[in-house]
Structure 1
Amino acid sequence: QTHKTVRAEQIADPSRTIVQGTILEGVLETAINTDLPGAIRAVLTEDVVSYDGSTTLLPRGTRLIGSYSSNVKIAQRRALIAWNRAVTPAGTSVALGGIGADALGRSGQTGHVDTHFWERFGSAALISIFALGPQFAIDDETDEDVADAI
């Protein structure tokens, strides 16, 4: 059995650090259409303060820039979002490396999801119905022949 070594580090400057896992609250500026991957923007609705709470590092109104995936599976109800950059109202640009989540911390973003069910399976369903139609007609004629013979 192998054991991994874990190394603890002291946060060098807590007044200038946003730690991993900090929730950034914002609203989307752009729509998401997962037919194709694309870019996305949001605006912070609350200030984001430093780890020690002493400094506002990302003020309300900061624009978040990211991207979303088009790799949505059948019956999946969430789109994967990755936030790459924050630009403050004063023009400071900060690199981010976070996954978008909802208010409960669940990965991805919900909304109306068009799974394109009929585009994917509609023609197969019609072919199945058309293939069964002649069989039912044959069965009905056979039942009538048996009734006539009795």
Structure 2
Amino acid sequence: MKKKIRTLPTVDEKGFQPEPTLPDSTYLDILNIIHDMGKEFERKPSVYTGKEEEHLRDHFLMMLEPNFEGSATGETFNKTGKTDILLKHNSQNVFIGECKFWRGKKSLHDTISQLLSYLTWRDSKAAVIMFVKNKEFSTVLATCD
């Protein structure tokens, strides 16, 4: 059963439709699904070995679409570019994700800038999903300081 996407704020006044935003609890549900999918990649290397970013992104879409009302699409145009993951509710953006392979600190900063360029003032929940091939993840974390 799909989770109902509840948006904030709620308004009782008829004829007024506020710009929706996800409550933190729903945002965390989305991030948990992404995190859990990432753990599955770690447990089953054949799922990701040799795959391009788009193929890996599709795994996340495959998990988001059946779990939340609305639509989860990939490579969807928003503002100045195509977002990797766009979750919509009632035709309104509620989550945007950008997927990238780890290629160093500069690449991370570039990815954040890219994601920010896709966001409008209405887009309040977003995430960077980083695919890291390094065997020593602690060195990646140390680089991000």
**Greater share of helix:** 2
TM-score of the superposition, structure 1-length normalised? 0.28
- Per chain length, whose mean CA-contact separation is higher, i.e. which structure has more relative contact order (CA < 8 Å, sep 6+)? 2
